[in-house]
Structure 1
Amino acid sequence: MTEHTRMITRFSRDTTADEIVRSVDLTGKRAVVTGGASGIGVETARSLARAGAEVTLAVRNTEAGRTVAADITATTGNPGVHVAALELTAPASVASFADSWSGPLHILVNNAGVMALPDLRRTSEGWEYQFATNHLGHFRLALALQPALAAAEGARIVAVSSSGHLASPLVFEDIHFTHRAYDPWLAYGQAKTANVLFAVEAHRRWSGQGITANALMPGGIRTGLQRHLDESPADPEQKAIFDAYPWRTAQQGAATSVLLAASPLVEGIGGRYFENCNEALPSDVVPADGEADGVAAHALDPEAAQRLWQVSEDLLAN
């Protein structure tokens, strides 16, 4: 990895997304937020709209999306909040979304995702569902929207990853758990590693066209993403840990996404991983204080990033 100066801002884990855009004007900018009808996606879209951007919520449930869009318009005064159907595991849906897009795209926030599915689930292609949703669907979408991103002459891609990436590198020999036993957290971990590797390689390939890409850890937020987890552990010790965890509000959880999507502080910066509104330190030097987890070397490995890109292209071509 090329050495660079770590990007530090004046913001922190307690910063809200609205605070990020307080002095930012996105008038004339167009943004897409996948999974924009729930969790931090709502607040990411809201803050971008508050700053004046035209925002499209790319969602599976368009009825829920319309409800959220109306609420965002009501709270921000921005009528330019739209809804479009997008199912990341359905190639036809991704193609339809991209084909319907016209004109430049300034901000693409790959926010949608699934976490820790308890049982092995596959798409019709035989792909492990978390990898297919969190990485391959967004990869297909970014490729299809790349001309629109290039037309913006300064576009940003934001890949929402997680500290879960620390659990597993990309296991190229068996990405889809064909030969190894399925583990929900290993599957989630490698999918989140893939999000970071995508940002690394997308920036390398597309920065010459004015497209920057970064990944991030939003922090712990109690949203629908955790629907497969036990939110009331029976074990008293586990419950105490769960209850004491420094959960963030959705506005705080969306802050790092909005920083990377909209702040002039990160203009031209790409191929990096952020948490707490700052570029993360390597995971092996971050204190285990629960406030910062850092980034694993395997997630920023440029060779793994290039290999994943090729593997992903091959999968989509079959």
Structure 2
Amino acid sequence: MTLPGRSVAVRVPATSANLGPGFDTLGLALSVHDELVVTVLPGPGLEIVVAGEGAQDVPTDASHLVVRSMAYAFEACGRAMPGIRLEARNAIPHGRGMGSSGAAVVAGLLAAKGLLAGDVELGPETLLRLATELEGHPDNVAPALFGGLTIAWVDDHGPQHKKLAVHRGVSPLVFVPDFTMSTSVARGLAPLQVTREDAVFNVSRSALLIAALTQSPELLMAATEDKLHQSYRAQAMPETDKLVRGLRAGGFAAVVSGAGPSVLVLADGPGRRLDAVDHAAALTDTRWLPRLLAVDVKGGTVRDNAEDAT
């Protein structure tokens, strides 16, 4: 039973999926976080307070994605959803290819995990399964849950993941525009069939990318080449495509972040990120906000909010 007044604090990182060739498979957790506090009300009801990114646009009723994810977890556990107060501070940009919806799904599931602790235990495998059912694919939710670099796949037992430690020389940089892109629209632009040559090309680059991210950052340029999805999405994101091409021509390992329109640069050292920022400034008149980030190694966390009172 979830007692009135029980409160949990949740923190979930942004993510960048695909990383170039690893379409629907590879994901990286980044050091931008949504934070929320969920408190059980004395009776039924729903109170939502949102600050930060998307505060003016997200719903403040039961259709809020965090609330829907919580309700999904409670139902999966055979428990009734209590009345809650949700206080969210969003830092992950919405509709920019940085995993905001995946983070919201994970945040709701972790909040449910915290509130149900001592009654029902939601383990890592269950959380990944529920998150994938809600999000549709595991490439964003796996790094949001577990942090670091994740390889995600689905087999007869459901969604699976492997977390890998990223080489300390890998330095992420994300260029965030002031325009958005619909993930569903972007996904619809990728072809249903590809040539054998393109498939082999991406298999080789995906394998190389694992080595580059974990052992040999100097290989990141070659490892981030892609022939499966980015060129097909270019028509819907011409400014993104222009920036990616310009950065790569300058020797920077740039890719579309997730479904876009943000651009991720995987630099092989902190100093190279500053060079990339300078290089990008001369490439386009579009306003891009450069964000120098780190790899988040913890993933999503949940704790009893009573700790803050001590």
TM-score by length of structure 2 reads 0.28
TM-score by length of structure 1 reads 0.28
Structure label with greater radius of gyration: 2
Bigger helix share:
1
Bigger strand share:
2
- RCO comparison, higher one (Cα < 8 Å, 6+): 2
